[in-house]
Amino acid sequence: MSRTLFIADLHLCQEEPAITAGFLHFLQREAPHCDALYILGDLFEAWIGDDDPNPLHQQIAQALRALPIPTFFIHGNRDFLLGQRFARASGMTLLPEEQVLECYGHRVLIMHGDTLCTDDTGYQNFRAKVHKRWLQRLFLALPLRLRQRIAGKMRAGSKQANQHKSISIMDVNLQAVESTMLRQQVKTLIHGHTHRPAIHQFALQTQPAQRAVLGAWHEEGSMIQLDANGIQLIRFPF
């Protein structure tokens, strides 16, 4: 049967070879048998520019490019600097931060999910800054070693800040979810970022609606499958 797959939050890096192996296995075994693959951000642990010579990036680009199906990418909060050069090398099409799909009779909104965490004002302030084009251009013009150091500082600062944030602050804000879904005129939303895999059913202005949250790839893989029957959240071993 025709189906489309969605994944997010793999956080690929050289320090976690089992996750990379799991992803390569998924690309060889699972992805070729679907109509399209959508990667909803945080494919990589941190992205400091398409010119980073990290061999992992070449390996992933090659594996993605070998796929016989169209692949799409929405930026996450770790890899928002992933650009056209890597997109071309991997054969992925870059999508805007919110995208509506019409698939198998379903209208579905896809996004990373970080923009829905509006209670996390510390993060939203940080995001607004690092999403400024001029600051990104400045950062990308710095020597790689300096970019690595800054990214390391940001990751450390983020880990530190998260220790003092409550679980609920780091989850999506339900008003933000509802207003986004109403604005995009969808009853189904798929996102990642929060690492809290679930399919939440709720009423959106009295109509049944659902929000599907992808799991992060830590010990196992997580994907959402969309077909004519609707969505399914699936876990699988690496």
Q: Which residues are annotated as a binding site for substrate?
A: 77-78, 120, 158, 162, 165, 193
Q: Which is nearer to ligand LP5, 22 or 113 (CB)?
A: 113
Residue 56 found at the interface with ligand LP5 (CB under 6 A): no
Q: Residue 76 or residue 215: which is nearer to Mn ion going by CB?
A: 76
Q: Which stretch binds ligand LP5 (CB under 6 A): 53-61, 147-155, 198-206, 225-233?
A: 147-155
Q: Which residue has the tokens 């494919």?
A: 43
The binder of ligand LP5 chosen from 64, 110, 117, 190 (CB under 6 A): 117
Tokens of 75: 């930026």
Quick one: which of 64, 116, 151, 216 contacts ligand LP5 (CB under 6 A)?
A: 151
For Mn ion, the binding residues in 60-119 under the rule CB under 5 A are 76-77
Give the torsion through C-alpha atoms of 126, 130, 135, 139, to 10 deg.
Answer: 110
Q: For residues 222 and 87, what is the distance between their CA atoms, to the nearest angstrom?
A: 23
Q: Are strands 4-7 and 221-227 parallel, antiparallel or unpaired?
A: antiparallel
Residue with tokens 């990214």: 151
**Amino acid identity for residue 101 in this structure:** L
Query: Which amino acids are annotated as binding site for Mn(2+), given as ranges?
Result: 9, 11, 42, 77, 112, 193, 195
- Identity of the residue, 42 or 120, whose beta carbon is nearer to Mn ion in the bound complex: 42
- DSSP per-residue codes, 6-17: EE----B-TT-H
Residues 14, 66: Cα–Cα separation, whole Å = 21
What's the one-letter identity of residue 174?
A: L
Q: Of 10, 14, 26, nearest to 193 (Cα)?
A: 10
- In the stretch 159-198, what mask flags binding to ligand LP5 with x, by CB under 6 A? x-xx--x----x----------------------------
State yes or no: residue 126 binds ligand LP5 (CB under 6 A). Answer: yes
Half-sphere CA count of 142, side-chain side, radius 13 A: 15
Could you list the residues that contact ligand LP5 (CB under 6 A)? 46-48, 77-78, 81, 114, 117, 120, 122-123, 126, 130, 135-136, 139, 150-151, 153-155, 157-159, 161-162, 165, 170
Could you list the residues that contact Mn ion (CB under 5 A)? 42, 76-77, 193
